[in-house]
Amino acid sequence: MSNIYVALDFPTWEESSQFIKQNKLQGAPVKVGMELFYREGPDVIKRLKEDNHPVFLDLKLYDIPNTVHNAMKNLAKLEVDIVNVHALGGSEMMKRAKDGLLSGNNSGHTKLIAVTILTSFDHNTLNNELLLPGTVTEQAVHLAKLSKASGADGVVCSVHEASSIKQSCGDDFLTVTPGIRLQESNHDDQKRVATPSYARENHADILVIGRSITKASNPYLAYQEAIKEWNHE
């Protein structure tokens, strides 16, 4: 499985395609989120797969178990590499999501991962707004263990929780980490961020990088820099 996914956080396929071509990113792993998918629908996934892009479909499903099961059954037919749900949806929802994925004529290679605590959250958000006790790491580890017990292949988490999650869930349990910033990048609206090299040192398996690449003056060079940082070159 590829290690670095570029977040195609663009409103249209035309802009996404232009970005890929201009920056020689044909075949690079990409993340498709709500903004692009809700505009273009499943067709955007088909186009990316035709150009040999590994795809992480980041829709963060969160609803009653039956609804998530049926939605996942439909998404399974797209045969992306990674798809996700919200761990806060609970064990039954995640189990039903996995059932839907497996029963949707899926090739079997799609990984189901669950979002733990969003990287835009910090301790204040968790404790004072959501009234969830403990630290961010404690909550992330708890949700990761729940996700594993419910059939998920891994979780979305901050780099800062990845090592603790590996210790609790095992080395084979995937840690997918957004909030990645290159050395010279701004943090924007994410609070728990890290560089690619720090991510690898802290047991992240897959990085999702958006604005550090897409908003760079030279996105192609930024992508290559991310690979170098990941490889400690």
Q: In this structure, what CATH number is given to the domain that contains residue 220? A: 3.20.20.70
**DSSP states of 100-156:** HHHHSS--S-PEEEEE-S-TT--HHIIIIIS---S-HHHHHHHHHHHHHHTT-SEEE
Q: How many Cα atoms sit within 13 Å of 86 on the Cβ side?
A: 11
pTM for this predicted structure: 0.93
pLDDT recorded at residue 203:
93
8 Å CB contact between 11 and 33: no
R_g (Cα) of the chain, nearest Å: 17
Counting every residue written for the chain, the total comes to: 233
pLDDT band at 2, cuts 50/70/90? confident
Highest averaged pLDDT of the listed ranges 12-16, 131-135, 192-196: 12-16
| pLDDT tens digits along 23-33 | 999 999 999 99
Q: How many domains does the chain have?
A: 1
Whole-number Å distance between alpha carbons of 55 and 221: 21
Q: Which domain holds residue 116?
A: 4-230
Whole-number Å distance between alpha carbons of 28 and 207: 13
Mean pLDDT, range 200-216, rounded to an integer = 94
| pLDDT tens digits along 109-129 | 999 999 999 988 999 999 999
Q: Catalytic residues, which ones? A: 60
What pairs with residue 175 in β-bridges? 155
